[in-house]
A = this chain, B = another copy of it.
Amino acid sequence: MEAEDPSERRFVITFGCPDRVGIVARIASFLAELGGWIVEAAYHTDPDTGWFFTRQEVRADSLPYDVEELRSLFSPVAASLGAGSDADGGVEGSQWRIADTGDRRRMVLLVSKEGHCLYDLLGRVAGGELNVDVPAVIGNHESLGGITEAFGIDFHHVPFPKDADGKAAAFERVRAIVDEHDPDAIVLARFMQILPPELCQAWAGRAVNIHHSFLPSFVGARPYHQAHSRGVKLIGATCHYVTAELDAGPIIEQDVIRVDHSDTVADMVRRGRDIEKVVLARGLRWHLEHRVLVHAGRTVVF
């Protein structure tokens, strides 16, 4: 929706490199000389790592270039500042990207039986709030197929057997379906299976999970049971990138909700859903808008 008005089309530059004097001037001058109209700009220097980060949104109609041309022009600037491009296999955080918001983004959702995150995301897509295509939803149960198809989206049922071989085969099918669409985001929307390391690797920086606790508290299974047992007064949810270590990936967004002694585990499960939904939606939106940079296991969210 947002990208339909041509004046709303943006080039989004994200950039990280070791901090030094003159980076802002170098990038800003590069854009000013081309006539680029910056509509949003954010900067951050991490004093611990000595790393500099920026994200800039430029009106596409203020530049006489397409995104490929802009990348070519920017490449020597980035190189002179010590930032490698994605294509160079630059190390995490020492990279740059230029995205064109006119390019449709795609996401694939992985679900199980709990439908609240799925409903919520599909509602946001249908209402135009999340400007992204959803070419496929994959479920390890059939139960969410009906509502998915009611939104006009293909649903793939991939059952997950308990045995290792069956599970590996199931993940191969999931991978095939996902990779066919080359999505910008693979969303584990309360998908109750742990991704194998090779998928964590293959989808690094694109696989987004919602965990139903305030990490690092209550890693792993049944976090609401753990929370109830400990007697905490707030429960939470965490949206994070998936990495090979369980529930330990870079955190994109978190939020909490107050509980008290009268809340049973079932109450926590029910009430926690409202936090899970909104935390996932916020984190996912920022990911899709290229607002999230990862460095040293933490995120910068511009």
Minimal beta-carbon separation of A5 from chain B (angstroms): 12
A interface, CB within 8 angstroms of B? 21-22, 24-26, 28-29, 31-33, 35-48, 62, 114-116, 119-120, 122-124, 126-127, 129, 147, 150-151, 214-218, 230-234, 236, 250-256, 258, 260-262, 264, 270, 273-274, 278, 281, 297-301
Minimal beta-carbon separation of A148 from chain B (angstroms): 10
Given contacts A46-B261, A116-B123, A120-B120, 18 further A-B contacts (CB under 8 A): A21-B62, A25-B25, A26-B32, A28-B28, A39-B45, A116-B127, A116-B129, A119-B126, A120-B123, A126-B147, A129-B273, A214-B232, A216-B230, A231-B297, A232-B251, A260-B301, A261-B301, A278-B278
Closest chain B residue, CB of each to CB of A33:
B25
Closest chain B residue, CB of each to CB of A271:
B282
Q: Is the interface of A mostly helix, strand, loop or mixed?
A: mixed
Q: Are A232 and B215 in contact (CB under 8 A)?
A: yes
User: Which of B43, B45, B217, B270 is A216 in contact with, Cβ under 8 Å?
Assistant: B217
